[in-house]
Amino acid sequence: MKQKIYKIKFFQVGEVYEIFAKNIHQSDFYAFLEIEDYIFDTKNNIVVDTSEEKLKSEFLGVKKTLLPINSIIRIDEVTELGKSKISKTDVANLAPLSIDFSKKK
């Protein structure tokens, strides 16, 4: 059986991170997702992508990351590993997810 690959896009301080991982699941901490077993493209490329290198160094030695659900843009199960990257975002075009948990039904 082939290992599943997940592409996770999320907001981080005005930037959009796109990373790949083998495992993702609901955390025991309320409103967080756990991301584990990061995957980075290890093919030797002549052109070095600085954002991918930044991600590799940022997540080097990280066993698990807890991401708040409201920072997640999208999660896809993919068949091929792509390039991890960081891209700038226009903050004016962002709409934060707002959930009011205080209302009782």
Give pLDDT tens digits for 14-61. 889 999 999 999 999 999 999 999 988 766 555 566 777 888 888 888
- The confidence band for 77, taking pLDDT boundaries of 50, 70 and 90, is very high
CA distance 83 to 12: 18
| Burial of residue 19, with CB atoms counted within 10 A of its CB: 0-12 exposed, 13-18 middle, 19 or more buried | buried
| Residue 67, pLDDT above cutoff 80 | yes
pLDDT category of residue 103 using cuts at 50, 70 and 90: low
